[in-house]
Amino acid sequence: MNVRGRVWRAVLFAVLLGAHIPPTLAWPLDDDGQGRPPTADGQILWLANGVGFCTADGDQGFPHLAPDGAGGMIAVWTDARSTANGVDIYAQRLNAVGTPLWAANGVVVSDAPNNQLEPQAISDGAGGVLVAWDDERPGGLAIFAQRLDDTGKTLWAADGISVTMGAADNLLAQLVPDGSGGAFVIWEQYANPDRFDTNLFAQRISAAGSPIWTTPVTITLALGEQFDAEATPDGSGGFIVAWADLRDAGDQNLYAQRLSASGVALWATDGVPVSSNPAVQGIGPIVADGHGGVFVAWYDYRSTGYLADAYLMRLTTSGDRAWPNDLPVVAALDLAEGPTDLIQDGSGGVILVAAASDASGVPGTDVLAQRVDAAGVFLWGAQPVNVTPWAEQQDFAVAVPDGRGGAYLAWVDKFSDPPGYDIMAQHLSEQGVPQWAGHGVAAVALSGVQDNARVISDGAQGLIVAWQDYRNDPDNPDLFAQRISDLHQLIFPLMRKHSGQAQGHANEEK
């Protein structure tokens, strides 16, 4: 065997071993002149049908993911394994090859009396995770938080620190990283027992678990209800938050506010309007534009009054609308459509992921995607890309950037397993072209129901997806995860590098 052949085989072995990929999945070494195989297929990197990272008794649900900074993930979830304490919060870390690193079935984040609900998680930037959740231990609804290090050890007070104070009920809206190892905690507070008047507040928590602001900061005290808040870092140490707003009774609109790292509101008091069309607008996902502004997606009922469309607006760093008109990204008169995810494209624009179904509702739902630049121009054609143009229901799609202008998507899919659901994934290129053959790659393809998918990037040309799984008990779901990648993206850049080095060495030997 020549030098080049020995090097390529060594590189293949090293990459396959590190990624835990069966060697049978390696491509032949011929290529199309660009140092890569002629086609690119997504490959399962962990166990077939996923790694069960919590299969304890009882119901485990609503996983929320954060990257561990080393190619793996940290998941937090609600857990009903203990009937004595109600619902608790647990966490688990999986490394890059899918091995659980913490205690079997997870470590306790909080198992305080009464229920702990709806956890959210973000990376702490040091291999651990920050977690916040709704907590019923005071008798009403309060918000608590905890930090775990990379070994799963809790770093703050047992069962977490209290973020909110007082008798009012508070509902966690968003947990946002502050860029310094801490977090912004944003919540909705009920101003009266009837819950017809709600306001939005925030607090910044340090990496040590201490409040940085003397008192919680008011986002809005406008009349009526402000709810369903979505938030994102602003890129300058603060955050931007958008929400649904009923300050004008009977006309639900969208507003947004930007707060600095010190808790100062940078836009108009009580927020700036995102859309104030007379029809109903329901908040969707938001993402920073990379220049101090934000893209906001929403459900909009202006066309028919009963079928939603997916709209988009960009706000500038000063809170001004960047485009003259609300942008209908997915808006067919005979379909019900809504945004399910929104991610940056790496070039100042975004990729909007949406669901579309006929007027009858669930049957026939498809996953659509469109790339929009900073000027509001569609980059994937006048109509969005249909990622799932086949029968049955595909819905609840979530996405992460691929780092090259495209996206990795995952969704629940009924096509192969009606009436159950599987979890499927696809890679869209920067031109919106599906890269994985057929229907994409099945993260799990078993009878029964797998749903409630969540995704993060694996940091290496792929995604990690976690989901609720009913394979063991149709009434009590467990939690599983899978890693899927463009295998050639991992192997062939190394091949090009090492083959060049090998050729140099071969020339030297002649």
Within 10 angstroms of residue 1's Cβ, the number of other Cβ atoms is: 8
pLDDT tens string 191-250? 766 667 899 999 999 999 999 999 999 999 999 999 999 999 999 999 999 999 999 988
> How many angstroms separate the CA atoms of 22 and 43, rounded?
10
In 3D space, the residue among 242, 247, 244 whose CA is nearest the CA of residue 224 turns out to be 247
> How many angstroms separate the CA atoms of 510 and 505, rounded?
9
- Contact (Cβ atoms closer than 8 angstroms) between residue 118 and residue 135: no
User: Which residue is associated with the tokens 């797998």?
Assistant: 450
Residue 491 above 90 pLDDT? Answer: no
Q: What are phi and psi of 67, to 5 degrees?
A: -70, 150
- Contact (Cβ atoms closer than 8 angstroms) between residue 295 and residue 350: yes
Distance of CA 66 to the CA centre of its chain: 9
What percent of the chain has pLDDT above 70? 85
DSSP 507: H
Residue 301 above 80 pLDDT? Answer: yes
166 Cβ neighbours under 8 A, 6+ residues apart: none
State both tokens at 477: 């779901």
Hey, what amino acid is at 395?
D
Residue 12 above 80 pLDDT? Answer: no
State both tokens at 130: 């920050």
User: Which residue is associated with the tokens 């469109």?
Assistant: 370
pLDDT tens string 459-485? 989 999 999 999 999 999 999 999 999
465 beta partners: 455, 482
405 Cβ neighbours under 8 A, 6+ residues apart: 345, 346, 347, 371, 429, 430
pLDDT of residue 494: 44
pLDDT of residue 243: 98
Residue 29 above 70 pLDDT? Answer: no
Q: What are phi and psi of 13, to 5 degrees?
A: -60, -45
pLDDT of residue 194: 61
> How many angstroms separate the CA atoms of 306 and 470, rounded?
34
- Contact (Cβ atoms closer than 8 angstroms) between residue 60 and residue 80: yes
Lowest mean pLDDT among 80-89, 184-193, 291-300, 486-495: 486-495
- 395 to each of 194, 289, 309, 353, 406, how far by Cα in Å? 34, 26, 15, 10, 19
pLDDT tens string 56-99? 999 999 999 999 999 999 999 999 998 777 899 999 999 999 99
- In this prediction, residue 5 has a pLDDT band, given cuts at 50, 70 and 90, of very low
Is 413 or 19 the better-scoring residue by pLDDT?
413
- In this prediction, residue 273 has a pLDDT band, given cuts at 50, 70 and 90, of very high
> How many angstroms separate the CA atoms of 474 and 419, rounded?
13
10 Å CB burial of residue 159 (0-12, 13-18, 19+) is buried
